[in-house]
Structure 1
Amino acid sequence: MALMAFSSTICKFNIHIIKHKIGPFFHDVKLSDQNLGDKNSTKQIKRRELILRSGKLATIGSIVSVLNLSGEKPDYLGVQKNQLSLALCPATNNCISTSENVADIMHYAPPWSYNPEDRKDRVSKQEAIEELLDVIETTIPPENFIPRIVERTEDYIRVEYESPILGLVDDVEFWFRPDRDSVVEYRSASRFGDFTSHCFRINFITML
């Protein structure tokens, strides 16, 4: 059901939502649910205007393709060998990690427990991993990035979240620490730009 709802969302996206992210290039491109569904408005758009708008959208697609906004997977992802933790964040503000210093308010995020004190039915690590995988595979975060599980071991999961419009990719990691009971560390980072609220995404996932 979640995937069906997501498909509907993709078909009905409003370009003006990302207007402020991309800049003035989207000026005068105002395709939206209302405009697409309003036959009277469509009839008023001249053929030349439709061609010009289609040309703008095609140009945007070409730019995205040339720029390769999906980026490459960073080599340093995964559990670090020199110190048992996930990778730290770069100096940019498009990343959060439980491995950061608590004093780093821009990048630090607290670990979460899959057996908190108020949970009555305690679960094993394997059960918690299956619960997390189910949430990732069956729900779409509010930012509408499409999740794809690309790595999985007995205690580590990496997910690539890709934006449906520009193909931007975020790398999200979860590590179920074998040396700490019920503790999950995580890291969420954008490969390009800053289009995601990483804390909001993690909160959304862990609260389901």
Structure 2
Amino acid sequence: TALVYRLGRRDGQTSVATMLLAGIALTALAGAAIGLFTYLADDATLRTLTFWNLGSLNGASYARLWPLLLATAAVALWLPRRARALNALLLGESEARHLGFEVERLKRELVFCTALGVGAAVAAAGLIGFIGLVVPHLMRLLVGPDHRLLLPASALAGASLLLLADLAARLVLAPAELPIGIVTALIGAPFFLYLLVRGRS
């Protein structure tokens, strides 16, 4: 994350587009490393690694819960305090600066906060995609763009969707269990495509 942020910096400014491109490149590099570990793994580790790649709550335990709870609490307490600044950013970076917000500092804090929350979640449950993409867009349609409402609504809706996806994963092919990442991708990808088409029209 620090490397992505550093690559996105130029002349004291942070380019979001450059950060996205750097993130895509480093994601490909990380994917290659995971592929190498998969190739070198024995059968038991390979099964664990495969389920982690697809996302699962099977490994839930109190030992894993407490670190995740601390990271979640830190993010949940910090983000609402930046709701007004995030609302100002909706107007554009220059407008947010004119309103008195330190945009570059806010970007640094957002990058760190996102890395902390997402890193903890992925470490605990694996790669469960599309919840972070779909839920905030859906909540924005329902409650509006005000981050004072949008942030808590997205947190509650994301947790609810994860639990519903886990329930579906356990019931659809019972007694076998689908990885949650497959379920969320089947739900999230069509909805995300719908949002893209809707945005174009």
- The alignment's TM-score, normalised by the length of structure 2, stands at 0.23
Higher helix share goes to which structure? 2
TM-score by length of 1: 0.23
More strand by share: 1
